[in-house]
Structure 1
Amino acid sequence: MFQDFKLVGDRPVAIQVKEYVKRLIIKGALQAEQKLPSTREMSGLLKVSRNTVIAAYEGLEDDGFTYAIPGKGSYVAAMVGQSAADNGGADGSAAWQIDWKARMNEYAVSAVELDMMKQGIRAKEGTISFTSIAPDEQLFDLGDVRRAFMDRMAIEGQVLLNYGYAKGYKPLIDYLMHYMENKGVDISGKEMLITGGFTEGFDIVLSALRPSARRGAAICENPTHHTAIKNLKLQGFEITGVPMERDGIDVERLEAVLQTNSFDLAYLTPSYHNPTGIVMSPAKRSAVMKLMMRHQIPVIEDGFNEELRYSGAHVAPLIATAGQGNGVIYIGSFSKVLFPGLRVGWVLGDRALIDTLESIKRARTIHTSTIDQSILYQYLLNGNFDKYVKKARTEYKRKYELTKAYCEAHLPEAQLSGDGGLHLFLTFPTGVNTRQLLEACTEQGVIFTPGDKFFIQEGEGTNTLRLGFSRVTDENIEQGIQIIGKQVRSFLKA
């Protein structure tokens, strides 16, 4: 015994010794009431200092795994040893087993089936990956983030480490309300809820708007954000998709659908739409809002990538065009612009709605991490955001134009869409199945996201793909697109 102890990593040695002895106790290798070696003996057995063993033994006692008898030494506590034996540990009896997959309900099974990450591609090391639309971490200004953290902790660190408020960190709410006001939003009669990113905010809103007596009905652009499709389905909504045109949703088709069906909500991404990258024109924004108002359909607006505008004038969000009306629920996040690791998003909407959402939030997660909220607030307050966005926009615009040029050169068969953001969307002739194309490209060391994942109905969009370029080097962008182009041409010849 004690011959298999090995020090690993940079963790404190006393903690490693404590956890090693604890594992021996749990496994039953050390029995209840058994005396442990003296600190001097254990020091020699494990080849660590005696003070290290003393600290480890004190930790074991604090955790209730051992007890000490003055003048005699340390002993294994009976309760711990008995627990291990009862559960099939020390005595070799059969452990209690449950078939958890058989216990899963429809919601859980659907979550697994719709889990894009679990169904994703397992790429080999060195693969050129166009699957990500996350920001490039090389652009993160760590010094400014570190300074924001230190500044806020110095001001109210003890408060930040305690429980926060379900509605959110008030300084951040006040800042973001002003931020949205600067986008042209009339904030009178509106409130804000801070969430753990877009996805939590969307899920909370859906759970509040889901009908109790029947399946809900939602309308959205087609294609649309896969996470939105997944959550709408998990919340029991039937989804109707309306095709996209070069300047946004097909308004005529939208009007025709609204005349023949009733809907509980609409989900729209008017700026740098995921996956097409299209920015809805001002004329269409106005037309869409008039239709939604006429049919009294609440709109959930996804503020996806709004800051990554590379050309043209600022286009006001839908919630701004609503004026003092309360029919639009805006969900925002800086995850695609700033730092996805800070899981902070917000829901802006009618005061009565936010009051209800606050209670749902409190029941689920109590509150979003106050530390995360406060770091973001201080970072914004210090004036870092505009400086960072200017740098990020310049770099992403360069990569966008580079990717677009390579696509035009090496993929002339594809129709491109995307006015900004971190990706391009490609539509090929019907003879190109992008699932099969992905298999062929994977063998050549290139992967991308097949576009059918973003369409409402199975079998749609099989000739489309999304190309994320934000985290790909210039050299790999060119090389990867060349490889895709060669495979496309072989498909078309076949």
Structure 2
Amino acid sequence: MIFSNLKINDNEQIYIQIKNYISDMISKGLLPDNSKLPSTRELSQILDVSRNSIVLAYEELKSDGLIYSISGKGTFASSKNSHSTTSWSIDWNIMENKYSKIANELDIIKSEVPWRSDLISFKSISPNGELFDMEELKKSFLNRISLEGHKLLNYGYAQGYKPLIDYLLTYMNKKSVDTSNKDILITNGFTEGLDIILSSFTNPGDYIICENPTHNTAIKIMKALGLNIIGVDINKNGLDFNMLEDKLKIHKNKIKFSYVTPSYHNPTGVVMSPENRYKFYNLMKKFNIAIIEDGFNEELLYSSSHIFPICSLDKSSNGVIYIGSFSKILFPGLRIGWILGDKNVVDRLESVKRCKNIHVSFLDQGILYDYLYNGGFEKYVKKIRKFYGDKFNFAMECVDKYIPTEYILGDGGLHIFLKLKNINTRELLNKCLEKKVIFMPGDIFYLDSKGYDTLRLGFSRLSFNDIEKGIKIIGESIKELVY
């Protein structure tokens, strides 16, 4: 095909024409370095010319250093000796749009201290992979493949894998959610779920109200979409409802959504009480503000039975969209989450999902469904509640023993949140880093200048020994800053 444009004329010797054509192809980069050329016999047949013409052309090109031959293997291009065209440089800084700039500016993977194997890191709130039941997962993989074979490896449906959707509808129904007028869209984790909802139902300049502090990824998505974010403080008593009501009155008729994480709120770890869930729902209903509920780590309640999600209060109404995911406790690498909402809402979101990335891997969905359906998740949750519960209690004891705080927040889950007494946690982080301990400074979770004296400690992947050692070092570093 590379010689389809070579037209032999009668005005110039044939071998010269062939030589010049190949030379031009190499100089333009159309014959990359080390790419194989046809043999002299093959090329003579392709061009319908004498083989001698091809031999002469190749010899000329070899003498110019543009091709080379290897005995028994063939003839190859050597573009490193050709003269390249002038360089081309686009100023991507000028090309970059506001969305990309905000995403890069708020990318904590790039801006925060990275994990290293020699550090005691309290940054992560990911599950401990050693607790995953790999044998059960292997069984689920083999079972789904044997039952459905190539179907799981082909294109799927944007809404998701039907057996998994049906399972999750039943799962939510067991949480007292009325699913009769609801449907589910499977997403690539929480992040895509929130992005799809906000991309579908907001415009730049719209208002959204949420807790302050809140999930850093949620802040990034909301800011990248150009939303005006109204923060409501979380303090030692939880969400400040007086502030919430004031903000609702001030911005009446402007707020399109509220975003709330009632269970194991990230970063504070606070679990909203049943009474406050009821109060929050009715306030949003009164002001006609749709709720996006982040069902973060609901299954990890250590001390009592499960608290109903806010969407269970919505009954046959359509005011709450729920985003669920197992990612923070089970197989985060599968990146499977779901949106539960009114059927009309999910129908619209399905089209947006199809526009963005067609569908979530059906292989991953099939494996997860099999694992859930066969009871693997229930056994796993019983095990991790005890494991993480013990770590949570131990971490709280260590903080109480070693770190002077204004107050501590956390009702369980995989992290706790500390407010210190006039200590800049950025300065504290630098001092702790010298002693090979890192944590997540709290300011990244705030919508304003607050949070300079807060930090989040994730303990899920640390040993008991490292939890105590790391917390003790943080406490010692605080004393050094004070004195």
Matched, 1:28 2:33: yes
Matched, 1:445 2:436: yes
Matched, 1:301 2:293: yes
Matched, 1:170 2:162: yes
Partner residue of 1:382 out of 352, 374, 394: 374
- 8 Å CA contact 2:257–2:291 kept in 1: the answer is yes
Partner residue of 1:415 out of 407, 410, 416: 407
Matched, 1:456 2:447: yes
What displacement does 1:230 show? 0.4
Q: Identity of aligned pairs, percent?
A: 47
Deviations 1:367-392 (A, max 9, x none): 00001100100000111000001111
The 3 A distance-change label for structure 1 pair 28 and 455 is same
Which residue number corresponds to residue 119 of structure 2?
127
What displacement does 1:444 show? 0.7
Matched, 1:358 2:363: no
Give, in whole Å, the separation in 2 of the partners of 1:248 and 1:126.
36
Counterpart secondary structure, 2:300: coil
What displacement does 1:90 show? 4.4
What displacement does 1:138 show? 0.8
Counterpart secondary structure, 2:164: helix
What displacement does 1:177 show? 0.2
Which residue number corresponds to residue 49 of structure 2?
none
Which amino acid is 1:439 matched to? Answer: N
Q: Tell me which moved more, 96-105 or 421-430.
A: 96-105
The 3 A distance-change label for structure 1 pair 367 and 89 is farther
- 8 Å CA contact 1:27–1:90 kept in 2: the answer is no
- 8 Å CA contact 1:322–1:328 kept in 2: the answer is yes
- 8 Å CA contact 2:119–2:437 kept in 1: the answer is yes
Which amino acid is 2:466 matched to? Answer: N
What displacement does 1:26 show? 7.0
Which residue number corresponds to residue 478 of structure 2?
488
Which residue number corresponds to residue 275 of structure 1?
267
Deviations 1:80-137 (A, max 9, x none): x5xx95xx88434444433333321111111110111111203544110000000001
Partner residue of 2:207 out of 212, 217, 231: 217
Counterpart secondary structure, 2:210: strand
Which residue number corresponds to residue 341 of structure 1?
333
Give, in whole Å, the separation in 2 of the partners of 1:104 and 1:401.
47
Give, in whole Å, the separation in 1 of the partners of 2:100 and 2:467.
38
Partner residue of 1:154 out of 146, 152, 166: 146
The 3 A distance-change label for structure 1 pair 247 and 331 is farther
What displacement does 1:282 show? 1.0
Give, in whole Å, the separation in 1 of the partners of 2:35 and 2:268.
61
Counterpart secondary structure, 2:334: coil
- 8 Å CA contact 1:28–1:90 kept in 2: the answer is no
What is the aligned-residue RMSD (CA, Å)?
2.1
- 8 Å CA contact 2:405–2:418 kept in 1: the answer is no
Deviations 1:317-358 (A, max 9, x none): 000012221100000000011110011000000111100000
Give, in whole Å, the separation in 2 of the partners of 1:218 and 1:163.
36
- 8 Å CA contact 2:262–2:293 kept in 1: the answer is yes
Give, in whole Å, the separation in 1 of the partners of 2:116 and 2:145.
42
What displacement does 1:142 show? 0.6
Partner residue of 2:94 out of 89, 97, 102: 102
Which amino acid is 1:192 matched to? Answer: I
- Which structure is larger by alpha-carbon Rg, 1 or 2? 2
The 3 A distance-change label for structure 1 pair 31 and 152 is closer
Which amino acid is 2:151 matched to? Answer: V
- 8 Å CA contact 2:326–2:337 kept in 1: the answer is yes
Spell out the pairing of 1:183-332 with structure 2 (5 A cutoff): 183-211=175-203, 215-246=205-236, 248-261=238-251, 262-332=254-324
Which amino acid is 2:385 matched to? Answer: R
Give, in whole Å, the separation in 1 of the partners of 2:139 and 2:206.
46
Counterpart secondary structure, 2:299: coil
Partner residue of 1:435 out of 426, 429, 438: 426
Deviations 1:55-99 (A, max 9, x none): xxxxxxxxxxxxxxxxx965458xxx5xx95xx884344444333
Give, in whole Å, the separation in 2 of the partners of 1:399 and 1:454.
24
Paired residues in the alignment total 424
TM-score, structure 1 as length reference:
0.82
In structure 1, stretches of 5+ residues that fail to align are 1-24, 36-71
Deviations 1:422-456 (A, max 9, x none): 000000012x0000100000001000000000001
Give, in whole Å, the separation in 1 of the partners of 2:475 and 2:32.
57
Give, in whole Å, the separation in 1 of the partners of 2:282 and 2:90.
54
